[in-house]
């Protein structure tokens, strides 16, 4: 630690993000918090990402760049961006997201007050165009787990998006994680972190998440259990999430058998009774029900 401040590491995984990378990097390097290291993991980009990375590293000694020799899965690049860092706390940054200048400084205070917490995050805004980002309203995102039992935590985190995965994370807990590989890897990861310690909401800072128009709330609302039902994928995600929860509890000196957690996770991932009914409903009927889902219905975001 420098001057009593914990070191915060930022991992920035990127693939062909040259058009927006410089702006996203500026959002990180301009943070008011002084004790930062920044690692960019370039996933074999073929655009001008490498050039942007070189300029950033040349102009800021806190920035270090690694490059994958060939394209690797998304999770592997996120993992590499973390494993190359050495901080007490960690934060992922995407190549097209922004943060208020006080974002890291604000969240660090939560860890200084309670080093045992697992994750801290603040308010977030969704935007599509950079010129509009700072005029967009805040989104409702109730991710905090303080005071919740296991079932309540699982229920909450299978019914909201995963935007808080871009909050500030306890690096010590992350180093014990087994990195369960799944298309929804962030669901299992956040479940593990929730088992390790509480998620804390800290007001006063903002994370700006760029979502392209094709992924608006209205579009995602139609991807409920009345939409594209993939029971085997959801069962796979539920099983890995249950393993992650079990591992998180075991790391804390407790025991939660995976087989006991799995039915609870699957039930919530399937969106409860409605999802189970939808899974047993003929495809034509599901298609009709999908069209009837009103805009603004519950939707899950995957990183």
Residues 146, 34, single domain; the answer is yes
CATH number at residue 30: 3.90.550.10
The lowest-confidence range among 6-10, 59-63, 132-136, 251-255 is 251-255
pLDDT tier, 228 (very low <50, low <70, confident <90, very high otherwise): very low
Average pLDDT over residues 230-238: 78
First to last CA, the chain: 31
Residues 80 and 39 occupy one common structural domain: yes
Q: Are residues 92 and 236 in the same domain?
A: no
Predicted confidence (pLDDT) at residue 302 exceeds the cutoff of 60:
no
Lowest mean pLDDT among 55-59, 98-102, 202-206, 278-282: 278-282
Write out the residue range of the structural domain in which residue 66 sits. 8-215
Q: Is 178 inside any structural domain?
A: yes
- At 92-150, the pLDDT tens digits run 999 999 999 999 999 999 999 999 999 999 999 999 999 999 999 999 999 999 999 98
Q: Are residues 222 and 181 in the same domain?
A: no
Work out the pLDDT band at 291, boundaries 50, 70, 90.
low
Helix 185-196 and helix 74-83, axial crossing angle in degrees, nearest 10: 40
Which is more confident, 211 or 207?
A: 207
Give the pLDDT score at 303: 37
Tell whether 92 and 188 lie within a shared domain. Answer: yes
On whether both 189 and 262 belong to a single domain, the answer is no
> Do 67 and 136 belong to one domain?
yes
The whole-number average pLDDT for the span 11-29 is 96
What the block records as the tokens of 299 is 């939707």
What are 208's strand-pairing partners?
A: 98, 125
- Measure Cα distances from 8 to 108, 174, 206, 246 in Å: 8, 14, 17, 28
Specify if 299 maps to a domain: no
pLDDT tens digits, one per residue of 42-54: 999 999 999 999 9
Answer yes or no: is pLDDT of 244 > 50: yes
Helix (H, G, I), strand (E, B) or coil at 5: strand
Residue 64 shares a structural domain with residue 84: yes
Confidence category of residue 83, pLDDT binned at 50, 70, 90: very high
Give the mean pLDDT of the chain.
87
Number of domain units in the chain: 2
Asked, for residue 302, whether it belongs to a domain, the answer is no
Q: With 0-12 CB in 10 A as exposed, 13-18 as middle and 19+ as buried, what is 107? A: buried
pLDDT per position as a tens digit, 165-198: 999 999 999 999 999 988 889 999 999 999 999 9
Residue 204 lies in a domain: yes
**Pick from 122, 151, 146, 126: which is nearest to 136 by CA?**
126
As given in the structure block, the two tokens for residue 117 are: 């917490």
Which residues lie across from 91 on neighbouring strands? 10
Asked if 89 and 55 sit in the same domain, the reply is yes
> Cα(203)–Cα(242) distance, rounded to whole angstroms?
31
CA atoms of 295 and 276, how far apart (whole Å): 22
Report how far apart, in Å, the C-alpha atoms of 25 and of each of 93, 143, 193, 205 are: 9, 26, 26, 18
Mean pLDDT within 83-97? 97
pTM of the model: 0.85
Q: Are residues 63 and 114 in the same domain?
A: yes
Query: With DSSP H G I counted as helix, E B as strand and the rest as coil, what are the percentages for the chain, rounded to 5?
Result: 45, 15, 40
Q: What angle do CA 296, 300, 303 make, to 5 degrees?
A: 130
Q: H or E element: which one contains 14?
A: strand 8-14
Across the range 249-267, mean pLDDT stands at: 91
- Same domain, yes or no, for 27 and 176? yes
DSSP codes joined into one string, 83-136: HT---SEEEE--TT-EE-TTHHHHHHHHHHH-TT--EEEEEEEEESSGGGGGGS
- Choose the final residue of a domain: 185, 215, 245: 215
């Amino acid at each position: 630690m420098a001057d009593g401040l914990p070191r915060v590491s930022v991992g920035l995984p990127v693939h062909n993000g040259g058009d927006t990378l410089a702006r996203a990097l500026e959002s990180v390097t301009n943070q008011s918090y002084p004790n930062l290291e920044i690692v960019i993991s370039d996933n074999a980009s073929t655009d001008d990402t490498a050039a942007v990375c070189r300029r950033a590293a040349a102009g800021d000694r806190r920035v270090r760049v690694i490059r994958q020799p060939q394209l690797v899965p998304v999770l592997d690049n996120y993992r590499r961006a973390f494993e190359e860092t050495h901080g007490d706390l960690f934060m992922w940054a995407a190549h097209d997201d922004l943060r208020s200048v006080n974002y890291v400084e604000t969240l660090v205070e939560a860890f200084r007050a309670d080093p045992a917490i697992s994750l801290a995050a603040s308010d977030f805004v969704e935007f599509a165009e950079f010129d509009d980002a700072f005029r967009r309203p805040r989104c409702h995102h109730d991710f905090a787990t303080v005071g919740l039992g296991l079932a309540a935590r699982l229920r909450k985190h299978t019914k909201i998006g995963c935007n808080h995965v871009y909050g500030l994370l306890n690096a010590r807990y992350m180093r014990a994680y087994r990195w369960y590989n799944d298309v929804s890897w962030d669901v299992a990861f956040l479940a593990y972190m929730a088992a390790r310690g509480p998620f804390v909401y800290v007001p006063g800072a903002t994370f700006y998440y760029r979502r392209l128009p094709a992924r608006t709330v209205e579009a995602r609302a139609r991807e409920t259990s009345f939409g594209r039902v993939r029971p085997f994928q959801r069962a796979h995600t539920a099983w890995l999430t249950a393993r992650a929860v079990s591992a998180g509890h075991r790391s804390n000196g407790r025991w939660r058998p995976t087989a006991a957690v799995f039915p609870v996770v699957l039930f919530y991932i399937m969106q409860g009774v409605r999802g189970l009914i939808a899974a047993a409903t003929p495809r034509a009927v599901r298609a009709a029900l999908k069209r009837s889902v009103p805009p603004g219905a519950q939707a899950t975001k995957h990183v």
